[in-house]
A and B are shown apart, each in its own frame.
Chain A
Amino acid sequence: MSILIDKNTRLVVQGITGRDGSFHSSQMMAYGTHVVAGVTPGKGGTKFEAKVPVFDSVHQAVDATGANVSVIYVRAPFAADAICEAADAGIRFVVCITEGVPVRDMLRVVPFLKERSTRLLGPNCPGLIAPNARVKVGILPGNIVLPGSVGVVSRSGTLTYEVVFQLTRAGLGQSTCIGIGGDPVIGTNFIDTLRLFQADDETEAIVMIGEIGGSDEEEAAAFIKEKVTKPVVSFIAGQTAPPGKRMGHAGAIVTGGSGTAADKIKALTAAGVPVARVPSEITSLITAAAPALRRA
């Protein structure tokens, strides 16, 4: 999405020298993302793959390279601090891949970012990929996407890849695929993303993949009814999830009877959003909802 990432993105990778940071930095660079800097405190002065300068702090990285987007592969106990550091250094879009960040930490990050007008994606998310621009920030695989005009937003990781892969196989390319993450407190939610897709010239139709826990899908349904004119289709995972149990994702839990898949499906259906019974149905629902979609 040209609003969030594009060829002008100058990416700094926090945690670039770690196992995940280094692996995914190579992948992002190979895909076409402009990685301009890395940050690992203590490793400043070195170079990643002999190309990318590594700094001790995000402030130094921004000063030296003009980095404007950050991606974080820092371990959970230190991730909230890394997010705040990026925002304080002037980064206005931060993508946090890290899983396992305590809720209490995120509750303090949210107002800190708001004060600095910094947008956060995640934590516990795979990031995003814009196939038309060949830019990706995060861990979404570049080999399953196809340039096109379907916007995909999801709380999940591999379920997203499954759906995107099916869309690609059907010739229905994507404008941007965004993972908002599986945690209970996240920086960018469904409504935020739908708003961006609605305003995005590249996007003609939207696929929304939700799951149990919280009320983000229900609120999105109300927003779609009022503010989204582009066709939206959805799938909600977790219809068979038992109450009170965390289903992998920290945010995927039915508490006190609320956050059930049934409630979400009901709200979306009432808002006129077709909800697929199974993931493989999404392709036919999108085609039916947006027959004019260009196929590759």
Chain B
Amino acid sequence: MNIHEYQAKEIFARFGIPVPAGTVVRTALEAEAVAARIGKPVVVKAQVLVGGRGKAGGVKIAQTPAEAKEKAGQILGMDIKGEKVQKVLVAEAVDIAREIYVGVVLDRRAQRPLIMASAEGGVEIEITARENPQAIRRVQIDPLQGIHPYAARNLAAELAGNAELAKPMADIIEKLYRVFDETDASLAEINPLVVTKDGRVLAIDAKLNFDDNALYRHADIEAMRDTEAEDAGEGKARAEGLSFVRLSGNVGCIVNGAGLAMATMDLVKEYGGQPANFLDIGGSSRPEKVVTALTIITADKSVRSILFNIFGGITRCDDVARGLVIAFNQMNLKLPVVVRLTGTNEKEAREILKQIPSLHSAETMDEAVKKAIQLAA
């Protein structure tokens, strides 16, 4: 789960990481009021869960409250990479002397948290990693030890270049690791960590992504989920325990198992079609799950055909078939549906599916995909 910059800054502030003063607002009038309260030039920043907000014109400086109202008016409602801007953060503008990158991620290979830091802040870390990898310092943390103060000190000393700045930087690095660890984050990033002209060290931007598997133990973080920004289909799927990712295409896919679902999408593309989505319906054969899956898929008006690709190992194919029949009778679908059901009791399953004569059936995954593409044309 990802959260907005303003929310990440709230969490940072709770852990003692200095952030500029600021408030999130939904209207230009409110932006003006916040700017007036801050009493200095402000920066108005689009709050959307995508990168490249600045380049898209979603980050603007305002010298006066009136200007803040104007800029907020321009940014609110903007479309940035498919996301509509509903909120802006109005924050104290700072005079930047230096920009530094600091982030904590999981190093999958080492199976440990990894702190990455670079004196080349303000640029996307992936670009630095590609073009100037030696500019990135990497420090692995033993999760059982946590971050040793000496490790934070040594890293900060390299980044700061002087003793005065090294101390607040070391403090921020330690706290950023604590945020990562204690909130079950998958990414905790400050880009840029800024040294201002008057010598303050502040997190000008904040990014936090969380391990979905750990949200059960962070009700406060789960409550930060922006359901407005979430794709309606993905939200519904999440609520019903299905995995759904929207793509852009016309062949709707319903599959049991994430790997098989990915392979099915890939196959649609391979055979010249456009997969509309990824959807893992899981191992259950319950008709309610099928109805939910079909509801989510058919809400996408560009879907022209629906493909069920089910492998029944432990899950019995005849159980799935019964569930499909109940679901189809409930749904009254207009779109062509191809069903491929292979595995345990597949012969019985095929007999049961004859109850829905409009169903197209296929014996293999390849055949099913090709049929679904044909029917979508």
Contact = CB atoms under 8 A, between A and B. Distances in A.
A157 B216 contact: no
Contacts of A182: 258-259
A257 B128 CA distance: 13
Interface in A104-159: 104, 106-108, 110-111, 139-141, 143-144, 154-159
B208 interface: no
B24 to A, nearest CB: 23
Interface stretch (B14-22, B37-45, B261-269): B261-269
A143 B344 contact: yes
A241 B278 contact: yes
Contact of B364 (A76, A160, A239, A280): A280
A215 interface: yes
A211 B265 CA distance: 13
Interface string B245-262: 101000000011111111
A201 interface: no
Contacts of B311: 158, 161-162, 165
Interface stretch (A36-44, A63-71, A95-103, A226-234): A95-103
B219 interface: no
Interface residues of A, number: 62
B245 A240 contact: no
A103 B217 contact: no
A185 interface: yes
A241 B262 contact: yes
A139 B262 contact: no
Given A104-B184, A165-B311, A247-B261, A239 B214 contact: no
A92 interface: no
Chain A contact residues: over half helix, strand or loop, or mixed?
loop
Interface string B107-137: 0110111000000000001100100000000
A286 interface: no
Interface string B275-293: 1001010000000000000
Contacts of B343: 141, 144, 161, 165
A245 interface: yes
Nearest to A235: B263
Contact of A156 (B143, B214, B260, B344): B260
A76 B216 CA distance: 10
Which secondary structure dominates where chain B touches chain A? mixed
A238 interface: yes
Contacts of A280: 364-366
A176 B270 CA distance: 30
B27 interface: no
A108 B144 contact: yes
B158 interface: no
A153 to B, nearest CB: 13
A59 interface: no
B364 A102 contact: no
B186 A237 contact: no
A159 B364 CA distance: 13
B342 interface: yes
Interface stretch (A49-57, A82-90, A248-256): A248-256
B80 to A, nearest CB: 15
Contact of A103 (B211, B275, B313): B211
Interface string A23-35: 1100100000000
Contacts of A277: 270
Interface in A200-240: 209, 211-212, 214-216, 219, 235, 237-240
B29 interface: no
B260 A162 contact: yes
A101 B213 contact: yes
B314 interface: yes
B70 interface: no
B267 A154 contact: no
B10 interface: no
A246 B214 contact: no
Contacts of B245: 241-242, 245, 247
A77 interface: yes
B258 A161 contact: no
B212 interface: yes
A184 interface: yes
A279 interface: yes
Contacts of B278: 241, 247-248
A216 B216 CA distance: 28
Given A250-B213, A278-B267, A157 B108 contact: no
Given A102-B213, A156-B257, A215-B108, A248 B181 contact: no
B312 to A, nearest CB: 9
A71 to B, nearest CB: 14
Q: Which of B142, B262, B280, B365 has the most CB of A within 10 A?
A: B262
A4 B43 CA distance: 60
Contacts of B342: 162, 165
Contacts of A160: 259
A257 B51 CA distance: 13
11 contacts: A104-B143, A141-B343, A143-B344, A165-B311, A185-B111, A211-B259, A240-B247, A248-B261, A249-B259, A278-B365, A280-B364
Given A219-B109, A242-B245, 8 more contacts: A76-B213, A106-B111, A107-B106, A111-B143, A158-B313, A237-B260, A247-B245, A279-B263
Top 4 A-B pairs ranked by shortest CB distance?
A156-B259, A248-B258, A158-B257, A141-B313
Interface of A: 23-24, 27, 76-77, 100-104, 106-108, 110-111, 139-141, 143-144, 154-162, 165, 182, 184-185, 209, 211-212, 214-216, 219, 235, 237-242, 245-252, 256-257, 261, 277-280
